[in-house]
Amino acid sequence: MDCIFCKIIAGQIPSVIVYEDEKVLAILDINPVNEGHVLVMPKMHAENLEEVSGQDLTAVILAVQKLGSAVKRGLGVSGYNVTENNDPVAGQAIAHLHFHIIPRLASDGLRPWPQRQYEGTERMNEVAEKIKRAL
């Protein structure tokens, strides 16, 4: 497999590990948004949220919770963003599921993406129905 995260998990590529257990690895991002930017991933390869097992996803999200708290305490920041870019169109650069924990500073200048509005309640209900039918 040519997955860079699988190679990191296998110890073939060096990384700075901040957390590891039997199902999860968390490393510092080498191109951080802010210092302390952590990547949390399942050790079992899964490209995205639809492919990961429930057990592995549970282990990963519990690690995200633990690491988010550690980022706040350890770095003295008052908040952080947790993101997961699911598929290339959403910005996923590496095809191995991973969550970003991005420490936030009041002075970092980062802004969330712009929000839009639906063109009326009818359109909003149409979109909701499409999602419900796909469940």
> What is the β-pairing status of strands 38-42 and 17-20?
unpaired
**Amino acid letter, residue 17:** I
First and final C-alpha spacing in the chain: 32
User: Are 91 and 114 in contact, with CB atoms under 8 Å apart?
Assistant: no
Instruction: Please tell me which residue in 37, 96, 98, 100 is annotated as part of the active site.
Output: 98
Q: Annotated catalytic, 96?
A: no
CB 38 within 8 A of CB 80: no
Q: What is the Cα–Cα distance from 28 to 26, expressed in whole angstroms?
A: 7
The sign of the torsion formed by the CA atoms of 42, 47, 49, 53 equals negative
Name residues whose C-beta falls within 8 Å of residue 9's C-beta, 6 or more positions apart in sequence: 25, 41, 43
Residues noted as catalytic: 98
